[in-house]
Structures are given as structure tokens and as C-alpha cells.
Amino acid sequence: MDLKVHFLDNQGEFDRIMGQLAQAHWIGFDTEFVGEKYYVPVLGLAQVVSEDGIYLIDTLKIKDLSKFLAIIEDPAILKITHAGDNDYRLLFTLFGTVPSNTFDTQIAAGFVGYNYPAGFGKIVEKELRVSLAKSHTVADWEARPIDPKALEYAIEDVKYLPALHEKLTNKLRKHNRESWAREENRKWEVRSFYEVDPNKELLANDLVHQVDFREKVFLMRLYRWRIERAMSSNIPKETVLQSRHISTVMRATKGGPNAFKSNRTMPEGVWKKYLETWQELWKAPATDAEKEVLNAIPKPLPEDPEREWTMELLYHFVKKQCLEHEISAALLLPKGDFNRLKAGSDDFDHDLLHGWRAELMGAELVSWMKKGGRIKVRWGDGECHLSM
């Protein structure tokens, strides 16, 4: 498909083109952003492909993107992406946009024999016999004028989406898996997918289970302080305070300057800059809201080697099912989600054992995964018998 490329850096022309695309049945799109220097990423470019052309949107000059965002939200228009969750997360962060009617080539590929997540270039090369050059994946999308080579890369990122959609849709249809891919994409079309627990970092740190209540309060405040500081200055959290120093700050703050002086792992300039603030956070009494959050944190389950072995064995059965049906196991049950299931964690998403996943695994295996009970092994006559 040989399409004309249009560069949109004028609001009036942008609004006119988006008005036309609002009547389309489908678009493909991608975004380029700068995230490593900021807390809130800067959207530097948006690329859109339609049957009429390719449109490169200078999002630093187009101040009102509402007509484009309305297309993303329009259920009548199919949106084709590759690894689109990153693009949708960015649009939600910046504008509160929640997409509808989505199709992702990376997800679709995972249902027709590709490992998940497969790179765009690999899928394009295998499906369309086209080799892509990826030399500008770290281009400075804030720089103006944009490097012409970087623009060529940006064009390639959307140019092949329509043909790839057609190819993968045909394969999905052949395997009766269109509904499976649609079910997986539908997760992106609800607001809750993009909302983040403000205590996510706290809950993910095993340290919260190893310290006393007052230290837990401080640890929670420290994480929130880091976020607030990063937001106010629009810099990465790691620039404010590196994650590897969190435990040092938690343990040394109550001891004052001498505790930090005796610990050489942390730069002196950092703790001297923030020590007074950290000590204030340490000394303040816990609020009722903080107590409620901390008291709701579930205690870790005791180690259970038998359950761990059982769940690992069951996961190998899951992987076997995936091999036989040419579906990526990482798409069916990502390792992180499986680890939460294995640990009996309260935050395991039980929807992962329903829908197309349950259909693929089968009722018996799903039942075993849910129960997580003991598996009995009996050897004899050259056979191995398993029962739960």
C-alpha cells in the first residue's frame, strides 16, 4: 500500500483531517514520546494511517488534540496498534482518554503461533516479507526539526499496520480465535485498566512485612513523598530518590545525620538535601487513613513447598496446552500473574481463569489451578499417574 505522507503542524489543517477520519471505519496509529526525563511523558509525535494516507501529527505544535482523541474513543472506528497498551496508557495519563474498538497486532500474533510479546519488525518480516530498519528507536522526539531518518522510522511504525491486521485477522478466523483476541483487547477499553493504586510500590516491597508499624507508616510516606516530589518537578522518581536507597532512608532517618554518614552507599548530597523533610515524615503520628491502608495489607502466607511444587507442575500442563494449540503461554498466563496465583495472593486477577483461557485449558485444568491442592503421584508399569 503506497500512501502519501502528510505532516500536520497547523491546528486548522489538523482539525480538518481529523474531521474526515472521524468518518473512517478504521485507523492505525502509534505515538512517540519522551519519558526518560520526566514524570509525565511528553508526547512528541503521533502517527496515523488510514486508507487515504499517513498523517504525522506534531503534537508539540498542535495544542488541541480533542478531535484525534474523539476518534480513539469512538466505538464505530477500529483502532489498529502494535503493543498499543503503551500508547493508550500515555493518552490516558495525559488526557484521560479511554479507547474503544481496539485491535492489537502483538496480541493477535500471540494467538497464531508467535511468542508473546513479539516485536513489530519480526511479525512484519514474517507476515509481509518486509524488513524494517530500527535505527532511530531512541530519537529525540522533542527536537525540532525532527530528524528525517526518525520520521522514516515513525512512518514504518504505522505503514504496515493495515496489511498486518488483514493477515492476522485471517489467521485468527482460520483458528476460530477472533473472539479470543477481541476478549483480550477489551481489557484496554475500561478505565480501571489504567488506574494505578497509589500504594503499589509499597505493596510490592517485601520490606513492608519485615518492619514494625511505625516504620511501615514512614515507608508509605516515603514512597508518596517521592511521587509528589517527582510530579511537582516533572522529573522521574528515580531522579528524586533511587529505589535502591529506599531501605537505607527508612532505616537511617530516625538515627539522624550520623546514621547516614556511616552508610556510604548513598550520596551525601541527597540525604543532606532531604533529611529534614524525612525526619518530619518520620515523627508525624499516623493518621486514621494511613492506619486503614496498612492494617488492610494481607500478611504473607507461610512457605508451602508442596503447594509451590504443585502449582509449578500445573503451569507446565498449561504450557503444554499452549504448545499444542500454538498460543504463547506468556499471553495466556503471564509469569507475574502465575506467581501471584502460586503464592495465593489476594491481588491475583481471577478473570485470568475464565473466558478464552478457560476454554483453552479445559475445565479440569482450570479447576486444578483454582484449587491449588495437593497432587498425588503414583509410579508403576512405566507410567506416572497424577490425581488431586
CATH of the domain at 349: 1.10.150
pLDDT for position 135: 53
Q: Which residues of 55-85 are buried (b: 16+ CB within 10 A; e: fewer)?
A: bbbbbbebeebebbbebbbbeebbbbbbebb
Note the Cα 325 to chain centre separation in Å.
26
Question: Where is average pLDDT lowest: 164-173, 201-210, 275-284?
Answer: 201-210
Q: Please give the order of strands across the beta sheet that includes 26-34.
A: 5-8, 53-57, 42-50, 26-34, 78-81, 102-104
pLDDT for position 253: 93
Q: Which residue has 550520596 as its cell numbers?
A: 267
Tell me what the mean pLDDT of segment 43-51 comes to. Answer: 98
Give the total number of structural domains in the chain: 3
Tell me what the mean pLDDT of segment 274-292 comes to. Answer: 96
Q: How far is CA 162 from CA 49, 91, 369, in A?
A: 8, 22, 38
Residue 10: strand, helix, or coil: coil
Task: Evaluate if residue 352 carries a pLDDT over 90.
Answer: no
pLDDT for position 134: 64
Share of the chain above pLDDT 90, in %: 74
Same domain (yes/no): 53, 180: yes
Residue type, 268: E
Which helix (H) or strand (E) is 359 found in, with range?
helix 355-361
Tell me what the mean pLDDT of segment 287-307 comes to. Answer: 90
- Largest interatomic CA distance in the chain: 79
Same domain (yes/no): 316, 291: no
Q: Which of 137, 166, 193 is the last residue of a domain?
A: 193
Share of the chain above pLDDT 70, in %: 98
Q: Which of 130, 161, 193 is the last residue of a domain?
A: 193
pLDDT for position 131: 92
Same domain (yes/no): 133, 279: no
Tell me what the mean pLDDT of segment 246-258 comes to. Answer: 91
Q: Which of 193, 227, 243 is the last residue of a domain?
A: 193
Range from 67-71, 248-252, 377-381 that averages highest in pLDDT: 67-71
Same domain (yes/no): 216, 359: no
Same domain (yes/no): 189, 40: yes
Question: Where is average pLDDT lowest: 21-25, 141-145, 349-353?
Answer: 349-353
- 214: cell is 511505625
Same domain (yes/no): 95, 32: yes
Same domain (yes/no): 73, 107: yes
Question: Where is average pLDDT lowest: 193-202, 225-234, 330-339, 346-355?
Answer: 346-355
Residue 300 lies in a domain: no
Same domain (yes/no): 318, 289: no
pLDDT for position 368: 83
Angle between helices 363-371 and 305-325 (to 10 degrees): 160
Nearest residue to 95 (alpha-carbon basis) of 124, 72, 79: 72
Residue type, 334: P
Which CATH number does the domain housing residue 163 bear? Answer: 3.30.420.10
Q: What is the pLDDT of residues 332-349, one digit of tens each?
A: 998 888 888 888 777 788
Same domain (yes/no): 141, 185: yes
Q: Are 365 and 321 within 8 A, CB to CB?
A: yes
Q: Give the long-range contacts of residues 241-244, CB within 8 A, separation 24 or more.
A: 241/270, 241/274
Full residue range of the structural domain in which residue 354 is found: 305-387
Same domain (yes/no): 288, 167: no
Same domain (yes/no): 180, 323: no
Q: What is the pLDDT of residues 133-147, one digit of tens each?
A: 765 556 899 999 999
Task: Evaluate if residue 256 carries a pLDDT over 90.
Answer: no
Task: Evaluate if residue 1 carries a pLDDT over 70.
Answer: no
Task: Evaluate if residue 113 carries a pLDDT over 90.
Answer: yes
Task: Evaluate if residue 84 carries a pLDDT over 70.
Answer: yes
